[in-house]
Amino acid sequence: MTETQPHVSVRDLRKTYGDFTALDGVSFDIDPGETFALLGPNGAGKSTTIEILEGYRDRTSGTATVLGIDPQHGGLSWKARLGIVLQSSGESGNVTVQEQLSHFAKLYPHSRDVDEVIAAVGLTEKAKTRIKNLSGGQRRRVDVALGVIGRPELLFLDEPTTGFDPEARREFWELIRSLKREGTTILLTTHYLDEAAQLSDRAGVIAGGTLIDIGTIDEIGDADARTPLVRWNDQNGAHEERTHEPAGLVARLYAAAGAEPTGLEVVRPSLEDVYLDLVGAYDNSLKDNS
């Protein structure tokens, strides 16, 4: 394959379990070196999608290629090019951080240096601690370390920072940025919209098994959803107005009141606001149809 081909390509992906449709025609591409975030509520189909691409689940119909290979028939050399961070697991953890990473490093042909990876996830001081004695957030960092130890071309991160404190999440973001700089392609699912906004180049929003929007972080949602919001209070209570000219609005408010308006806010909607609008609109459309 050539570098111009996408690392992940999904067309009309469907997955049904009996009568239940988990995925109903999802299509997207992820280019080499790109970080793509898959967003959506619990049960929307994020994990089903990612597990199909990792080779853990078989699709019902549609096509999928990952690093040029159909994940249903990916062999060991294909797996050697992937890094997989699954959702949290309950392994017994009777090995130390260092033992576990040293062992996994041997499974891959071009592994990273074990101590460097341990340092990159901030566990140098815990290197000789058994994994079962780590906190939830520390165990999750081990999961991430195991996902990157094999120097993957494509890294799957399924809710990687669940259980992290804010500082650990920021350290994790730095780690991901350094992987991006090395050219690693990343597929990320997360419930933290600020994380998706910080890390990803593009995002897809999945709800009810369909992709309801896809685009760069700045494009997601309709143009209205991006319009800045001005909030203020006066004797009639709280007000809120969407406008492309917030400074003009604030100036008019000031002129009209002859004083500083109380509770004044100018808000540029974050990815989280846009996302909530999108998913909320999707839920409402379901109610209208039923």
Partner 1 sequence: MNTIALGIDRARYETKVYFRQGDTIFFTFLFPVVMLTIFSVAFSSSGNFGTNPDGTGGVDAAAFYLPGMIAAGLLLSGVQNLAVDIAVERGDGTLKRLGGTPLPVISYFIGKMGQVFATSLAQVVLLLLVSHFAFGVALPTEASKWGTFVWIYLLGITTSAVLGIALSRIPRTGKSATAVIIPIVLVLQFISGVYLSFTQLPTWLQNVASIFPLKWMAQGMRSVFLPDNFSSAEQGGSWNLGGVAIVLGIWLIVGLVAARFTFRWIRKDA
Does the footprint of partner 1 cover residue 55 (CB under 8 A)? yes
Q: Does 19 bind partner 1 (CB under 8 A)?
A: no
Task: Between 57 and 126, name the residue whose CB sits nearer to partner 1.
Answer: 57
146 vs 211, which CB is nearer to partner 1? 146
| Residue 252 interacts with partner 1 (CB under 8 A): yes or no | no
- 17 lines the binding site for partner 1 (CB under 8 A): yes
Q: What is the DSSP string of the chain?
A: --TTS-SEEEEEEEEEETTEEEEEEEEEEE-TT-EEEEE--TTSSHHHHHHHHHTSS--SEEEEEETTB-GGG--HHHHTTEEEEPSP------SBHHHHHHHHHTTSTTPPPHHHHHHHTT-GGGTTSBGGGS-HHHHHHHHHHHHHTT--SEEEEESTTTT--HHHHHHHHHHHHHHHHTT-EEEEE-S-HHHHHHH-SEEEEEETTEEEEEEETTTSS-HHHHS-EEEEEETTEEEEEE-S-HHHHHHHHHHHHSSPPEEEEEEPPPHHHHHHHHHHHHHHHHHHH-
Q: List binders of partner 1 among 67-96 (CB under 8 A).
A: 76-77, 79-80, 82, 84, 86, 89-92, 94-95
Is 280 a binding residue for partner 1 by CB under 8 A? The answer is no
- Report in angstroms how near the CB of residue 107 gets to partner 1 at its nearest: 5
CB of 80 to partner 1, least distance (A): 4
Residues forming contacts to partner 1 in the complex (CB under 8 A) are: 17, 54-58, 76-77, 79-80, 82, 84, 86, 89-92, 94-95, 99, 103-104, 106-109, 130, 146, 150
